[in-house]
Amino acid sequence: MYDILIKLKTQIRQYDKKIIYIIQKIIQNLNKMNKLLQTAITRSTFFAKQSRFSTTPDQFSVVTKKAGDNTNYPKNGDKVTVHYVGTFTDGKKFDSSRDRNQPFQFILGAGQVIRGWDEGVGKLSLGEVATITCPYQYAYGERGYPGVIPPKATLLFEVELLSFKK
């Protein structure tokens, strides 16, 4: 009987060692997963700050493709100079200042351009290139622009802020 108890005690110790080993491995894996999760959170936060992505309920958005100086931003009333390429959501281009090799100028916030431009270009820093997504409410509305922009069209603009002045 004593021998059986000794064997049992030895087996329990072996099982205890195995259980402890398994628990240690689980803890190591949890620590690795925690580090990966922290890295993912840090990277996504960094990306969000770098992209300066912003969205309104209407799905108007400004997504940075190339960072600008992150210091100089135009204000309403400034004369801004931009290059742009306008496309539909299917990728079809409808207009481009780059194709004409002629930058476009307008007074920011004066209503000289579509609402999406007045709001979106004001979020760009000098030298920044961004995609501005303009649902029809921020573009040419329910009527569109006959012969060019269909009614209720969502438009995408790749815009580069070249300069601005008061």
Active site residues: 84, 94-95, 114, 140, 157
Pairing of strands 93-96, 129-134: unpaired
Q: How far apart, in whole angstroms, are the C-alpha atoms of residue 78 and residue 80?
A: 6
Average pLDDT (39-58) is 56
What is the rounded distance in angstroms from the CA atom of residue 14 to the CA atom of residue 132?
A: 64
Task: Report, in angstroms and rounded to the nearest whole number, the Rg of the chain calculated over CA atoms.
Answer: 29
Give the pLDDT confidence score for residue 57 in this predicted structure.
42
pLDDT digit string, tens, across residues 78-134: 999 999 999 999 999 999 999 999 999 999 999 999 999 999 999 999 999 999 999
pLDDT one-digit tens code per residue, 12-35: 788 778 888 888 888 888 888 877
Give pLDDT tens digits for 125-142: 999 999 999 999 999 999
Closest CA to 132 of 69, 55, 70: 55
